[in-house]
């Protein structure tokens, strides 16, 4: 049951001529203006945050309108809304008189949604105090804006949503009933590592180009763009979204023969401290926005998880290859990709990976290619099978852990922001990180022969055909 629609709109902030694209919530009473004002203030948040925030507010609107006659006091309604995020709205008999048909959410997700709503209602309460709006906490509102103001009042004075009370609360029977159905259908659990012993086949037999399967030239036979992205995740630990923020100039040869890959913050990253930010460069040179600001439905969209940066001043993180030999092979394949496959896009965009027409490659395009490659080597494509994109980052973390790597090194290599058990340790430099990883690699018998490790007996043969 939907009581609002979300429309993408270009919003003019002032008379400068610049606009910002935001999801606008429209109810039967018209534009939810207070929420638009809130988003304008928080417009520099990531696109994922903005869209999730709008989703949370729409859930509150739907629940409010479907249940406003069920409670004597509005405060009770808001608290039961929060409860319903955790328990769902479907009874043990499978019936939901509210027609919301919500299934229980994971505790982390429900708390996040409540936090997003709380951020909005706290902000709105401040605005209402400044405007000296008189809100009656007993009388039921007549329109959507008044309901939002009452939610702000209730949250400010009564902490209406109280998500912290659910931290250790046992699940009610209706929650267990629906959650069991959901788990049996989806499998649950976090992403697994890519199946052991199958990754070589994925790289060298999965990402083959149609019509060039028998070619002796590796740059003819393989779609190097997809191979490189997969290596960045599997041997470099990147998230798939981070790969799509990399520019051509961010990949350079390192002095040991590996590729030095830096991933800059999509808006704040800088090549030099006094230079322009990525946001400025994208706007001035290419007429583009940072990719995380495009809607998720847009081919340019790529999220940003706010990882720990190796350089807080220039706002970038480095790829730490494990094993180090993977970085050497990446370097060679990158050179071949630039020479033979990447379609030039001078003056259009700076991104490393392109489509056949030269446009920025999309995450959707990569996921489709990954699915075909996985199926080509006889594996199912699913989170449960460990064959989706995130499984490669998981493989990287597991490889470090299985090699006996110290937790601090894993934290640094995977760019986690904080691990409470490791707060006592200091940060490591790039040279220290590389020295640690190389020392670990030398102690592993299976890492002594890079060709055996990566399963590429024909790689050097393919390279010999290139001047």
Structural contact between residues 411 and 310, judged by C-beta atoms closer than 8 angstroms = no
Structural contact between residues 148 and 121, judged by C-beta atoms closer than 8 angstroms = yes
pLDDT of residue 466: 43
pLDDT of residue 69: 82
Helix, strand or coil, per DSSP, at residue 309: coil
Can you tell me the distance from the alpha carbon of 366 to that of 361, in angstroms, rounded to the nearest whole number?
A: 8
Q: What is the CATH number of domain 199-463?
A: 1.10.443
pLDDT of residue 129: 72
User: Which two structure tokens, joined as six digits, stand for 239?
Assistant: 């998230």
Largest CA distance in the chain: 80
Q: How far is CA 185 from CA 173, 188, 244, in A?
A: 19, 8, 31
CATH 1.10.443 positions along the chain are: 199-463
Please measure the distance between the N-terminal and C-terminal CA atoms of the chain and give it in whole angstroms: 63
Structural contact between residues 48 and 296, judged by C-beta atoms closer than 8 angstroms = yes
Task: Find the DSSP H helices in 132-261.
Answer: 144-158, 173-186, 199-201, 218-221, 224-234, 240-243
User: Which two structure tokens, joined as six digits, stand for 350?
Assistant: 């700076």
* Residues contacting residue 265 through CB under 8 Å, at least 6 positions apart: 278, 304, 309, 315, 316
Edge-to-edge strands of the sheet including 259-264? Answer: 251-253, 259-264, 316-318
CA angle 389, 390, 395 (to 5 degrees): 105
Q: Which residue has the tokens 């049951």?
A: 1
Can you tell me the distance from the alpha carbon of 226 to that of 203, in angstroms, rounded to the nearest whole number?
A: 9
The DSSP string of 243-271 is HTT-BGGGEEE-TTSSEEEEEE-TTT-BS
Q: How far is CA 440 from CA 42, 129, 406, 436, in A?
A: 44, 59, 10, 6
- Reading the chain (467 residues) residue by residue, the pLDDT tens digits are 578 888 888 888 877 777 888 889 998 888 888 899 999 888 888 888 899 999 999 999 888 888 878 887 778 888 888 888 888 888 777 887 888 888 888 888 888 998 998 888 888 888 877 665 555 555 566 678 887 888 887 887 777 776 555 544 444 444 434 444 444 344 444 458 899 889 999 999 999 998 888 888 999 999 999 999 999 999 999 999 999 999 999 999 988 899 999 999 999 999 998 999 999 999 999 999 999 888 888 999 999 988 999 999 999 999 999 999 999 999 999 999 999 999 988 889 999 999 999 999 999 999 999 999 999 999 999 998 999 999 999 999 888 888 888 888 989 999 987 664 333 334 566 776 787 788 887 777 555 555 554 444 454 444 544 44
């Amino acid at each position: 049951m939907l009581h609002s629609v979300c429309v993408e709109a270009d919003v003019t902030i002032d008379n400068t001529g610049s606009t910002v694209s935001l999801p606008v919530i429209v109810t039967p009473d018209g534009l939810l203006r207070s929420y638009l004002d809130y988003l304008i203030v928080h417009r520099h948040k990531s696109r994922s945050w903005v869209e999730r925030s709008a989703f949370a507010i729409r859930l509150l609107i739907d629940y409010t309108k479907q249940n406003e006659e069920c409670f004597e006091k509005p405060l009770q309604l808001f608290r039961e809304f929060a409860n319903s995020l955790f328990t769902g709205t479907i009874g043990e008999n499978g019936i939901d008189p509210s027609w919301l048909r919500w299934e229980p959410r994971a505790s982390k997700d429900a708390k996040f949604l409540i936090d997003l709503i709380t951020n909005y209602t706290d902000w709105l309460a401040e605005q209402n105090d400044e405007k000296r709006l008189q809100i009656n906490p007993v009388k039921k509102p007549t329109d959507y804006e008044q309901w939002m103001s009452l939610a702000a009042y209730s949250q400010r004075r009564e902490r209406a949503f109280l998500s912290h009370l659910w931290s250790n609360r046992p699940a009610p029977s209706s929650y267990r009933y629906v959650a069991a159905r959901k788990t049996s259908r989806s499998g649950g659990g976090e992403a697994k590592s890519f199946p052991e012993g199958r990754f070589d086949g994925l790289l060298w037999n999965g990402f083959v180009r149609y019509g060039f399967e028998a070619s002796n030239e590796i740059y003819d036979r393989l779609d190097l763009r997809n191979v490189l992205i997969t290596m960045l995740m599997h041997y470099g630990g990147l998230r798939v979204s981070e790969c799509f923020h990399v520019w051509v100039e961010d990949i350079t040869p390192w002095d040991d023969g590996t590729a030095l890959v830096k991933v800059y913050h999509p808006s704040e990253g800088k090549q030099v401290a006094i230079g322009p930010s990525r946001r400025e460069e994208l706007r001035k040179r290419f007429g583009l926005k940072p990719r995380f600001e495009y809607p998720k439905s847009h081919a340019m969209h790529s999220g940003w998880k706010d990882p720990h940066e190796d350089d807080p001043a220039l706002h970038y993180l480095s790829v730490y290859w494990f094993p180090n030999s993977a970085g050497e092979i990446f370097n060679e394949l990158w050179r071949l990709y630039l020479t033979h496959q990447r379609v030039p896009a001078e003056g259009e965009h700076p991104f490393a990976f392109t489509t056949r027409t030269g446009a920025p490659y999309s995450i959707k395009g990569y996921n489709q290619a990954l699915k075909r490659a996985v199926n080509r080597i006889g594996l199912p494509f699913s989170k449960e099978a460990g064959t989706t994109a995130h499984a490669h980052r998981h493989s990287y973390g597991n490889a470090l852990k299985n090699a006996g790597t110290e937790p601090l090194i894993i934290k640094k290599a995977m760019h986690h922001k904080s691990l409470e058990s490791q707060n006592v340790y200091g940060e490591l430099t790039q040279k220290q990180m590389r020295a640690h990883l190389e020392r670990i690699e030398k102690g592993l018998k299976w890492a002594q022969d890079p060709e055996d490790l990566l399963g590429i007996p024909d790689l050097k043969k393919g390279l010999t055909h290139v001047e």
